Amino acid sequence: MIPSPYPGQRVLVFLACFTAVSIAWAAPDSLMPPEAVRQPVELERELLAPWQAGGEIVIQSRPNGALEAGRRTAPPVDAAEEQERRAEHFALALRLNLVKAYRVVPYVLPLNDDQIRLLERFALSDAGAVWFREMADDTLRLFNQGYLEVDESLWQAHQAGGPRPRLSHLITGRLSEAGLFAQDAAVFRIHAYDGPGSMAAASSIRMGLAGFRCQFQLSGETVDPFAILSHEFGHSRYGDPWSAGLPLGEARTVERYENPVRVRRGFPPRTVYYLRVDPARPAWSRDPLLARILAWKKYRERGLADMAPVEGLYCECPDAPGSLRDCLTGVTAADVAGASGAAPDECSLRWAAVRVAIPETQAGAGP
Ligand SMILES: [Zn+2]
């Protein structure tokens, strides 16, 4: 993220007027390298800004001949220029971050054409532009460390009077020899896996080859693929990498990274996150709220009193495999009218419903 990338209006006019000639005499200090330390994306604030893609990426050579990448500080002159910057970030990701061929890594499958097209549309959208800018900033960092292989002939052609190559053309998508042996050359990857939905880790996003559902499994709310991708980026190192799979972390991820996208695209904000509890997972967690949820039988008499902001726990019971009941009352939606369920002790927890905070900016939005 670039701090206050756009100076005052008077400076903007000045830069806009001189952009054409500045390429010729750009002093090394006129480019801003990416910040050394990543800051977590504040998506709501970013989406309120006039532009999302950040400064134009430019390559120049240092006095010692080494290449250096940075960004100009001038904002785009119009929407078309902003779109060009977003497209360059997608081109960089396509070169370096999107997995397009089988790799010698288990479970890492290449993205298919539909997934790549979805990612491109996302990269060109406002929220996607923010996340792809962060990925591009990582690429600048790797480039400036000398970790990316470069097509030297393109730079030589430029020095001989040819056009200045874009970074997405200059890099080959492979690591340089230095990058291959560097411990800190962690390229962010977006790849496919066999299954539905999507998942994230600190340095990767996985997209299921079975695609996204149209509705969320339990709530029935409509899925917005862009909001889901933003949610996944929110779990990565560009957002909060400690949030995935935890009740409060997930609710906060929906609030910070998913709902801002949903409400801007005409979907109502999600008010509840359903955390799936894998039957195979250990019955204990370091996270205090998740630990209480997993030990729900112990807390049964007190109901949900110790579990705010959990709204409900849903169980599967041996007398009705495949259907869900309220763990605490043993009652299903279908048998509220009379019949009682199985003894709760025999039931096992499958889902926890966690409330999502809805800030004023998101409340009342959507159709
Ligand atoms: Zn999540």
Statement to judge: residues 292 and 237 lie in one domain: no
Gap from CA of 55 to ligand 1 centroid (Å):
30
Gap from CA of 349 to ligand 1 centroid (Å):
19
* Residue 334 DSSP code: T
Gap from CA of 359 to ligand 1 centroid (Å):
19
Domain boundary among 270, 297, 327: 270
Gap from CA of 27 to ligand 1 centroid (Å):
44
Q: Which of 194, 192, 359, 196 is nearest to 276 (CA)?
A: 196
**Domain assignment of residue 202, given as a range:** 77-270
- The span from the CA of 180 to the CA of 31, in Å, is 27
Statement to judge: residues 259 and 279 lie in one domain: no
Domain boundary among 252, 270, 288: 270
| pTM score | 0.87
Gap from CA of 210 to ligand 1 centroid (Å):
18
Gap from CA of 296 to ligand 1 centroid (Å):
22
Statement to judge: residues 251 and 297 lie in one domain: no
Gap from CA of 308 to ligand 1 centroid (Å):
19
Which two tokens mark 179? 């990058």
Model pLDDT, residue 65: 86
Gap from CA of 254 to ligand 1 centroid (Å):
8
- Residue 68 forms part of a structural domain: no
Statement to judge: residues 120 and 266 lie in one domain: yes
Written as tens digits, the pLDDT of the chain (367 aa) is 434 444 343 333 333 333 333 343 444 447 899 999 999 999 999 999 999 999 999 999 988 889 999 999 999 999 999 999 999 999 999 999 999 999 878 889 999 999 999 999 999 999 999 999 999 999 999 999 999 999 999 999 999 999 999 999 999 999 999 999 998 889 999 999 999 889 999 999 999 999 888 888 888 889 999 999 999 999 999 999 999 999 999 999 999 999 999 999 999 999 999 999 988 888 889 999 999 999 988 877 788 888 889 999 999 988 888 888 888 876 665 554 444 555 667 889 999 999 999 988 777 654 4
- Residue 117 forms part of a structural domain: yes
- The span from the CA of 185 to the CA of 177, in Å, is 11
Statement to judge: residues 188 and 292 lie in one domain: no
Gap from CA of 234 to ligand 1 centroid (Å):
8
Statement to judge: residues 263 and 149 lie in one domain: yes
Statement to judge: residues 87 and 213 lie in one domain: yes
Strands 189-193, 204-208: pairing is parallel
- The span from the CA of 72 to the CA of 92, in Å, is 17
Gap from CA of 202 to ligand 1 centroid (Å):
12
Gap from CA of 235 to ligand 1 centroid (Å):
7
Gap from CA of 250 to ligand 1 centroid (Å):
5
- Residue 66 forms part of a structural domain: no
Statement to judge: residues 89 and 185 lie in one domain: yes
Gap from CA of 244 to ligand 1 centroid (Å):
5
Statement to judge: residues 234 and 254 lie in one domain: yes
- Residue 281 forms part of a structural domain: yes
Gap from CA of 336 to ligand 1 centroid (Å):
31
Statement to judge: residues 124 and 157 lie in one domain: yes
Domain boundary among 237, 270, 303: 270
- The span from the CA of 340 to the CA of 182, in Å, is 61
Statement to judge: residues 251 and 300 lie in one domain: no
- Residue 320 forms part of a structural domain: yes
- Residue 3 forms part of a structural domain: no
Gap from CA of 253 to ligand 1 centroid (Å):
7
Gap from CA of 30 to ligand 1 centroid (Å):
39
- Residue 67 forms part of a structural domain: no
Asked if 248 and 351 touch (Cβ cutoff 8 Å), the reply is no
> How many domains, in total, are found in the chain?
2
Gap from CA of 191 to ligand 1 centroid (Å):
17
Gap from CA of 190 to ligand 1 centroid (Å):
16
Tally the C-alpha atoms within 13 A of residue 122's C-alpha that lie toward its C-beta.
Answer: 25
Tell the residue number behind the tokens 């001038």, with chain if given. 74
Query: Cα–Cα distances in Å, from 76 out to 5, 72, 79, 84, 277?
Result: 11, 10, 7, 9, 46
Statement to judge: residues 221 and 259 lie in one domain: yes
- The span from the CA of 78 to the CA of 83, in Å, is 9
Total residues belonging to the chain: 367
Gap from CA of 7 to ligand 1 centroid (Å):
36
Gap from CA of 196 to ligand 1 centroid (Å):
14
- Residue 65 forms part of a structural domain: no
Whether a cis peptide bond, with omega within 30° of 0, leads into 76 is no
Gap from CA of 348 to ligand 1 centroid (Å):
22
